[in-house]
């Protein structure tokens, strides 16, 4: 990796951790902050994720593990509420790079794409529908809600990505680093059990 990509990745990592930006916007802002041409080649997300891990280790090692655990517990609460839609946790909260500024991304594998929305309406949960990129690069619906995280005493964005039930088959294939890119309720419980301090 050339030094420019390395510089962008580390500048982006700081924005991800300190401001809660997603990787794409963080990389673009890092390019501007570094005074580089707008068309400068950007490092891939894997490189930025490595830089985020380094940044957390250097500057947030005392606070980040507890924040991550709180977010995973909140995610688990929503996964249990949405159990009928086969929820899977993805993103920084799943991969372990989340801080209190990170949002939670839950992928729901639905037989009927409107069923999750109907459940939220029935339970009186306010949400904002939007369109995001799905697993195959196609546009899919997302339902974004704000949920109070009691442990962090703040509202956290929870994004429910609505996917087709059939997408679940290929969804657990390892990513470029050989990791499972998302986890079900049982997997999230296991992560929390491993991270729990021994009494």
3-state helix/strand/coil string of the chain: CCHHHHHHHHHHHHHHHHHCCCHHHHHHHHHHHCCCCCCCCCCCHHHHHHHHHHHHHHHCCCCHHHHHHHHHHHHHHHHHHCHHHCCEEEHHHHHCCCCCCCCEEEEEEECCCCHHHHHHHHCCCCCEEEEEECCCCCEEEEEEEEEEECCCCEEEEEEEEEEEHHHHHHHCCCCCCCCCCCECHHHHHHHHHHHCCCC
Query: Residue 196: what pLDDT?
Result: 63
Fold classification of 64-195 is Beta Polymerase; domain 2 (3.30.460)
Q: What is the mean pLDDT of the chain?
A: 93
Predicted local distance difference test score (pLDDT) of residue 197: 56
| pLDDT attached to residue 142 | 97
Tens-digit pLDDT profile for residues 38-83:
999 999 999 999 999 999 999 999 999 999 999 999 999 999 999 9
Q: Where are the domains of the chain?
A: 3-59, 64-195
Give the pTM: 0.91
Where the chain has pLDDT below 70, the residues are: 1, 196-199
């Amino acid at each position: 990796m050339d030094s420019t990509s390395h510089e962008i990745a580390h500048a982006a990592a700081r924005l991800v951790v300190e401001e809660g930006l997603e990787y794409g916007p963080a990389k673009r802002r890092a390019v501007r902050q570094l005074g580089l041409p707008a068309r400068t080649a950007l490092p891939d997300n894997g490189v930025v994720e490595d830089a985020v891990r380094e940044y957390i280790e250097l500057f947030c090692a005392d606070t980040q593990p507890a924040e991550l655990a709180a977010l995973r517990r909140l995610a688990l609460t929503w996964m249990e509420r949405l159990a009928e839609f086969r929820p899977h946790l993805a993103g920084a909260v799943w991969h372990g790079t989340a801080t209190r500024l990170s949002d939670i991304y839950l992928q729901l594998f639905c037989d009927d794409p409107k069923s999750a929305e109907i459940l939220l309406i029935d339970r009186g949960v306010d949400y904002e529908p939007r369109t995001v990129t799905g697993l195959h690069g196609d546009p899919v619906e997302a339902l974004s809600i704000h949920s109070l995280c009691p442990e962090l005493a703040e509202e956290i964005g929870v994004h429910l990505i609505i996917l087709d039930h059939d997408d679940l088959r290929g969804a657990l294939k390892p990513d470029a680093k050989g990791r499972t890119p998302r986890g079900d309720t049982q997997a999230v419980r296991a992560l929390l059990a491993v991270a729990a301090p021994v009494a």
